[in-house]
Amino acid sequence: MAGKMEIVLVGRSNVGKSSVIRGLTGMRIRTGRRPGVTRKISRYERGELVFVDMPGFGFMAGVSREVQERTKSEIVHYLEENRSKIALALHVIDVRSFCEVVERWEGRGQLPIDVEMFHFIRELKIPLIMVANKIDLIYPEERDGVLDEICDKLGLLPPWRQWLDTVAPVSAKTGEGMAELKRLIKRKFQEMGKGRLCRHLR
């Protein structure tokens, strides 16, 4: 039998990575603010499919710059070293704060960490889905505008609907968009000739 394959989740702290894994698998995974919990890589196995939850990157209250940098290199190394067994990356963002955070970094003349990570994963040629989470926090009439702006920041030419194979707006909280996300993941597995992995998604 072929070895286990991984879906790796990356994103800033608190964007909803654990909630997305819970929505995709039905596993009872702890979510919410976890002060004091060590920021380790968590692995959740579903048969031959493993969900790998990376520590949140970027600024967090109470976390030194040194720890932030170390977290980022840990993620980068993990992706490089495990490239061959990573079937898919889910890059989770919080749609409500994404553009504001990116603009803050741009204002300082820095490349925003989310943008850097997005391009890094694409350079490694790891199939990627941008999971635009917490869409429930945006008024329905404002969603297209917000998603267009997110695409623009990532260098994906708006309108966002051109990128339906890359961008998946969801609410891990209400479940909205989760069925579409699952379908998209399954389609990507099938395109890669890894359709057998589909049965491990709820």
Residue 58 CB, shortest distance to ligand GDP, in Å, is 11
Does 91 contact ligand GDP by CB under 6 A? no
- Among 46, 91, 134, 200, indicate the residue that binds ligand GDP (CB under 6 A): 134
Q: Which stretch binds ligand GDP (CB under 6 A): 11-19, 44-52, 101-109, 185-193?
A: 11-19
Q: Which of residues 24-83 bind ligand GDP (CB under 6 A)?
A: 31-32, 56
Nearer to ligand GDP, 162 or 174 (CB): 174
Distance, in Å, from the CA atom of 19 to the CA atom of 32, rounded to the nearest integer, reads 9
User: Strand runs (DSSP E) across the chain, as ranges?
Assistant: 5-10, 42-46, 49-53, 86-94, 128-133, 167-169
Beta sheet of 86-94, edge-to-edge order: 42-46, 49-53, 5-10, 86-94, 128-133, 167-169
Residue 130 CB, shortest distance to ligand GDP, in Å, is 14
Residue 15 CB, shortest distance to ligand GDP, in Å, is 5
Distance, in Å, from the CA atom of 73 to the CA atom of 29, rounded to the nearest integer, reads 25
The C-alpha angle with vertex 173 and arms to 23 and 22, in degrees rounded to 5, equals 20
Distance, in Å, from the CA atom of 195 to the CA atom of 189, rounded to the nearest integer, reads 5
- Among 5, 6, 10, 13, indicate the residue that binds ligand GDP (CB under 6 A): 13
Residue 52 CB, shortest distance to ligand GDP, in Å, is 12
Residue that has been written with the tokens 């589909």 in this structure: 198
Q: Which of residues 163-182 bind ligand GDP (CB under 6 A)?
A: 171-173
